[in-house]
């Protein structure tokens, strides 16, 4: 495309401390959140005639961590197509050549709020169980594609007011280093499983731990294990759930085991004490039954030893959840991931720049030829908050990488089934 024509297609607008340079089809930009990678805006897309979310990634190739995450996210978003995983509608860069390449913009379906806001609400069992069911469906789909998330948290799960839910990101790469002995840097770790905190091997049900923490937070309206760092977080885990068995200790590597065995010993509390009846709506016999089912599910998810923790399939079959079971959602065919070495890649900044740029160009090429990824089904006119005015509350303060920095407002959650 000729340079002049391309330039005419874009315009720039200041959003908070950042400048968004976007295609003219995207109008009425308003900040709705921010994360480790950058700012997210809502906008109206005059081509698709709908509201969208646009995330700006500035110099996504700037270092190994940013580049790997941006590239991985882009490749996976292009492959995955499930109603409980955020869908990519468009990706573009305003720069014209690889040499000039600086910023990447991801255009996604627009949702109304992240789970941090929902956690503040008093949810009934219907909504709570439906949100958990959808989270589990999304996780199961990722697992089917060989993606184990390991870093699910409320800020990376978004909902609409009709109670539909989508997971926003793809978690940690297999090769990502985590663990008790690592230098702390600012990320939210409250939801990370013991096997991640303690640097052990992990299996798919590592993600169930996060679902348990999120469910507990929805019930308590407080973070379950609010550690200042991994060490403090481990203390919070054992204070409530009790010191794990000797059998578990034997699975730890020597240095971590020495640390864990030398902590004070805690008996922990029963789940009736941790999640008493007053936390649940229990005004009718039906609600009393649901409350005991909810507590039972929590007790099966929040198990320190992963070999004794419920699996995703078992959780989907649990009586609290299986009322929503739909094989089309639970067993959707897994996506084929185009880049088989996705998690192993190590590159220089220049190589990452080229790889990411190529992925953006590949999208342009594919969409030019009319090959567009399937449109997610759930964004229809029936959804109440699809007017741009109501879904685009400006963010008052936008710091990076804390859960308090995402401030779209949740309207009352309706349950759609
Ligand atoms: P991220 O940079 O992907 O971690 O997103 C940061 C925050 O922006 C999230 O916690 C949400 O509050 C908001 N956000 C991101 N993507 C969307 C979206 N597609 N719809 C609505 N809000 C979003």
Confidence (pLDDT) at 385: 33
Radius of gyration of the chain (CA): 22
Q: What is the dihedral of CA 176, 144, 153, 267, to 10 degrees?
A: -90
Distance 31 CA to ligand 1 centre (A): 10
Confidence at residue 268, expressed as pLDDT on a 0 to 100 scale: 97
Phi and psi at 373, nearest 5°, equal -65, 150
pLDDT score for 238: 97
Ligand 1 environment, Cβ below 6 A: 32-35, 37, 40, 53, 55, 86, 108-111, 114, 155-156, 158, 168-169, 406, 408
Residue 321, CB half-sphere, CA atoms under 13 Å: how many? 24
pLDDT of the chain, 417 residues: tens digit per residue? 566 666 689 999 999 889 999 999 999 999 999 988 889 999 999 999 999 999 999 999 988 888 888 999 999 998 899 999 999 999 999 999 999 999 999 999 999 999 999 999 999 999 999 999 999 999 999 999 888 998 899 999 999 999 999 999 988 766 665 655 554 455 788 999 999 899 898 899 999 999 999 999 999 999 999 999 889 999 999 999 999 999 999 999 999 999 999 999 999 999 999 999 999 988 899 999 999 999 999 999 999 999 999 999 999 999 999 999 999 999 988 888 777 677 777 888 889 999 999 999 998 888 776 545 443 223 222 223 344 433 333 222 222 233 333 333 344 577 555
> Which positions are annotated as active-site residues?
151
Is residue 113 within 8 Å of 159, Cβ to Cβ? yes
Angle at 166 between CA 90 and CA 317, to 5 degrees: 145
- Distance from the alpha carbon of residue 236 to the mean position of ligand 1, in angstroms: 28
φ/ψ of 57, rounded to 5, equals: -110, 110
Nearest protein CA to atom 22 of ligand 1, as residue: 111
Structure tokens at 123: 């949810």
Residue of the CA atom closest to atom 15 of ligand 1: 40
Residues 100, 36: Cα–Cα separation, whole Å: 23
The pLDDT score that the predictor gives to residue 217 is 98
CA of 157 to the centre of ligand 1 (A): 8
- Distance from Cα 4 to the centre of ligand 1, integer Å: 33
Q: How far apart, in whole angstroms, are the C-alpha atoms of residue 146 and residue 154?
A: 22
How many other CB atoms are there within 10 angstroms of residue 121's CB atom? Answer: 15
Q: Report the candidate in 296, 337, 280 with the shortest Cα–Cα distance to residue 79.
A: 337
- Select from 26, 72, 168 the residue to mutate for testing ligand 1; criterion: most ligand atoms less than 8 Å from CB: 168
| pLDDT (0 to 100) of residue 358 | 94
Mutation probe of ligand 1 site: the residue of 34, 35, 48 with most atoms within 8 A of C-beta: 35
User: What sign does the CA torsion over 329, 86, 128, 273 have?
Assistant: positive
- Alpha carbon distances (Å) from 186 to 69, 189, 229, 399: 16, 9, 9, 12
**Model pLDDT, residue 39:** 94
Q: How many Cα atoms sit within 13 Å of 71 on the Cβ side?
A: 28
Q: In Å, what is the CA distance from 198 to each residue of 8, 74, 343?
A: 53, 29, 21
Identify which of 37, 43, 55 to mutate to test ligand 1's pocket (most ligand atoms within 8 A of the CB): 55
Tokens for 192? 């990370």
> In this structure, are residues 158 and 178 in contact, taking their beta carbons and an 8 Å threshold?
no
């Amino acid at each position: 495309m000729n340079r002049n024509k391309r330039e005419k297609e874009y315009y720039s607008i200041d959003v908070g401390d950042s400048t968004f340079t976007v295609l003219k089809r995207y109008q009425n930009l308003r900040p709705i959140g921010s994360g480790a990678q950058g700012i997210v805006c809502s906008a109206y897309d005059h081509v698709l005639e709908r509201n969208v979310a646009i995330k700006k990634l500035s110099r996504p190739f700037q270092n190994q961590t940013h580049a790997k995450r941006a590239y991985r996210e882009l490749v996976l978003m292009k492959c995955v197509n499930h109603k409980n995983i955020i869908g990519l509608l468009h990706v573009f860069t305003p720069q014209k050549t690889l040499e000039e390449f600086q910023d990447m913009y991801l255009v996604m379906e627009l949702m109304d709020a992240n789970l941090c806001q929902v956690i503040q609400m008093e949810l009934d069992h219907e909504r709570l169980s439906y949100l958990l069911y959808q989270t589990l469906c999304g996780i199961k789909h990722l697992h089917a594609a060989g993606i184990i998330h390991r870093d699910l948290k409320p800020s990376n799960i978004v909902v609409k007011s009709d109670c539909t839910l989508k997971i926003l990101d793809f978690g940690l790469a297999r090769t990502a280093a985590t663990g008790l002995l690592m230098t702390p840097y600012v990320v939210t770790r409250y939801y990370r499983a013991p096997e991640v905190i303690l640097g052990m091997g992990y299996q798919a049900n590592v993600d169930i731990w996060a679902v348990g923490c999120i469910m507990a937070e929805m019930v308590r309206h407080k973070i379950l294990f609010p550690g200042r760092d991994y060490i403090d977080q481990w203390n919070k885990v054992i204070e409530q759930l009790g010191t794990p068995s000797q059998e578990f200790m034997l699975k730890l590597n020597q240095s971590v085991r020495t640390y864990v065995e030398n902590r004070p010993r805690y008996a922990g509390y029963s789940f009736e004490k941790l999640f008493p009846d007053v936390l649940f709506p229990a005004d009718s016999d039906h609600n009393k039954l649901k409350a005991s089912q909810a507590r039972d599910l929590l007790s099966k998810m929040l198990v320190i030893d992963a070999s004794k923790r419920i699996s995703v399939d078992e959780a989907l079959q649990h009586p609290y959840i299986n009322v929503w079971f739909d094989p089309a959602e639970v067993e959707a065919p897994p996506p084929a991931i185009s880049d088989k070495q996705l998690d192993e890649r190590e590159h220089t900044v220049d190589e990452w720049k080229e790889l990411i740029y190529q992925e953006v160009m590949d999208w342009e090429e594919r969409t030019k030829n009319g090959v567009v990824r399937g449109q997610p089904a759930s964004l229809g006119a029936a959804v109440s908050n699809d007017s741009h005015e109501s879904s685009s509350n400006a963010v008052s303060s936008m710091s990076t990488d804390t859960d308090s920095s995402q401030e779209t407002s949740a309207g009352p959650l309706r349950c759609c089934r």
